[in-house]
Amino acid sequence: MVNIGSALGYLVQSLLIAQPNENVMNLTNTKSCINCFKLNNGEAIPAIGLGTSRIGSTDEEVILAIKNAIEVGYRHIDTADMYKNEKAIGIALEEAFNSGIVKREEMFITTKVWSTNHRKELALQSVRKSLKDLKLDYLDLVLVHWPVTFKVSDELLPRFTNESLIGGDLKTENFELAYQGLEEAVRLGLVRTIGVSNFNIRQLEQILMVGQIVPAINQVESHPFLNQNELLNYCNKNGIKLEAYSPLRRGDKAFFENKKLLEIANKYGRTVAQISLRWQVQRGVIVIPRTSKRHRMIENRNILDFTLSKEDMQMIDSLNTNDRYAKRSLTKLVSNYMDNHHFNMNQFMRILNSISIERNINSKGHRYVRKFIETTLHHLNPNWHVEEDSFASMTSIGKVQFHNIVATFIPRTELCHDTNDTIERIVLSCHYDSLRSSLINRSDNDLPESKFIAATDAAVPCSMLLIIAQFFTPYLNKIWSRSRRQHNLPTLQLVFFDGEESLSSHDDASKANIDSLFGSRHLAKMWQQTSVNSRTRLRKQQIKWRNHSPIVKKTKRLRRQLKERFRELCQTSSSSSSSSSSSGQSYRRSVDGANSQIGGNVKWSQGKQDRWPINGVQRSLQTTDGLMRLHNSYHSIDNIRLLILVDLIGGPNPRFFNTNLQTSNYYARLAQIERLVLKQQQTHNGKSVKPFFQTNPPFLLSLVRDDHLPFVKRNVSVIHIIPHPFPRAWHQIEDNLAHLDFNSIRRLTIIFNIFLLDTFNVKL
């Protein structure tokens, strides 16, 4: 028989420990719940609960811990299917109900649906399983455990053979579908309240958009070092209660020895744990500290008979460092979750969110572009959102109807396929007619080493290479550098490569995945046809842009400075060959002689007629004799590189690119120039100079033209690595990035040209 007096004694003890206090934010008392918060559905939840993750290594230890908690007054038990202790907790609850210590209606039981059950029917199935294991007729609260989706599996953490976790198919498995399953459980009477766990603001917004029931709870990690104030404010505005797990930072020594917390604890005659828990409850946050020790359970509950001053609340708030203790566990696998201080997929996805593909296409071509986007982007990742509007414009052939097609990437939270917590390199592979983005990471000691990732989040059309290479890349580096020193992150590198040869060092499975992903060559041809149809309009845009963009003024200034630099180099070369002549005379003689040798008809003069002998240089590239004359005229590889650099800044010459000279031959000519000059330099001084145009032709040309990328032959393999830090001159155009229109090739080349200035060490 149960000792009724003992049971009453436990009840009186719990009431004395948890006296109602008007100063506690929104605490209410009901017939079955003392010191509770009221949820948005009218249900009451105890302000203090018991977390049960790893509270015992055996079922007997779990049962004992739950019994102790109920005896000392706990009425809120938090568990999960993932904890694998629901059966033991069910036994303890059944014994407590049968003994009369507590009634079922006095208990508040929470469980969670795991990430391998992110389908509507699987979530409902998980609820039924938890009810059976816990020996209950209904559940008070069920949460979606994580906003990350794993492949449906009997294993908690399904893995590839290389130990990387397998993400689910987001078309049929995602946290939105899991939440809809919980809504169905409410309608069936299996669950009274539903909510989410480990969700950030954007993910909550997704739930609010698709769900019919507003989540009552969002359970996240929170403690004085991670106050979650922004998330708390958002939840309060939307009627969602925040619940804190690990409120004592899992017993971390640095937490309990914090001087400010110790000072406040001594002031009130309490422990650091009590101060931290009281701070949470006083600001309206539910706490579920985890412990299996009876005296700790009593200590953690004894927090409602005192109040922290406003100054002390602010002092504890000031301890926030966004230090997520759980970041070494599952959080490192969740995209769009970690805070800005720790670089992972969050920053990557945020930047992708700010990039859109925008094309103004005439009536003939817009259907192909839309089909390309829908069949390629949207098919591979539904986060690509396509919008279209129309407008009419007068052209040289009359009035033409244009269609403005915008494809914006709206990232959704998912598992980073085969990735770990810290990005080491971002790979942009140009697979002939298409482009894909993927990630390469270096893992921690307990995870596999870096591997080539064949999986991809989205395929993008070829023109995106320009955007990523020149806008997206420096922005990534800027974000990376903010926390690189503090967190000892590796150097961020960008790798561009094309086709099969670059993948030769990787396994056959990776190549097969890429081939299957980009096997539709006709889609790329559609995109090329569309680009041809819009060339006239793009040229008009470029002319209009040249006259109004503030960046053009900077470009012209850079070009003038480059000319001056080139003149100085020519003067130096001429002075060394003819020391008796004045520098000005030798300079003019050198330039005029070069023009005559290469067939140029441009004369150097001062003022408005000051010209640059680019046309002659371009013509000289088409013949071997012209190459030799160019080589003999300028002597220095630096001079020739500067000459070509100014050509790039000036934009591609339409007459030159409309000739029969193939683009691959064009850069072959540039490489031939380099070989001639380098050979001569090495003969004279014995020093070897690393070639530039020989090793990077497709990359350079891709930043000048956008019509049919890439231009390289199938047997050409190019890797270009941009090191950290990025060019010093980047800040010169940073303020103007918001106004960039990525339809204009010239705007993109300017950004790359500034990188070239730094590459050639041109002092501005």
Dump the DSSP string for 701-745.
HHTT--SSS----TT----EEEPSS--GGGHHHHTTGGG--TT-H
CA separation for the pair 504, 645 (Å, rounded): 32
- Structure-block tokens of residue 465: 């290479």
CA separation for the pair 289, 326 (Å, rounded): 15
- Structure-block tokens of residue 461: 């059309």
What is the DSSP secondary structure assignment for residue 492, as one 8-state letter? P
Q: Which candidate, 432, 436, 439, places its Cα nearest to that of 476? A: 439
Element (H, E) at 440: strand 434-441
CB 466 within 8 A of CB 706: yes
Amino acid at 408: T
CA separation for the pair 92, 55 (Å, rounded): 14
CA separation for the pair 613, 606 (Å, rounded): 14
CA separation for the pair 753, 559 (Å, rounded): 10
Q: How many helices and strands (H and E) does the chain possess?
A: 31, 19
Task: Give Cα separations from 616 to 594, 602, 620 (angstroms).
Answer: 9, 8, 6
Beta bridge partners of 495: 427, 721
Q: Which candidate, 344, 422, 409, 352, places its Cα nearest to that of 377? A: 409
What is the SS3 assignment for 192-205? EEEEEECCCHHHHH
What is the DSSP secondary structure assignment for residue 166, as one 8-state letter? P
CB 487 within 8 A of CB 342: yes
CA separation for the pair 35, 198 (Å, rounded): 25
CA separation for the pair 71, 53 (Å, rounded): 20
CB 260 within 8 A of CB 315: yes
CA separation for the pair 567, 575 (Å, rounded): 12
Catalytic residue among 74, 83, 179, 475: 83
Amino acid at 692: F
CB 403 within 8 A of CB 390: yes
How many CA atoms within 13 Å lie on the side-chain side of 378? Answer: 13
Decide if 337 is catalytic: no
Element (H, E) at 557: helix 550-577
CA separation for the pair 153, 151 (Å, rounded): 6
Residues serving a catalytic function are 83
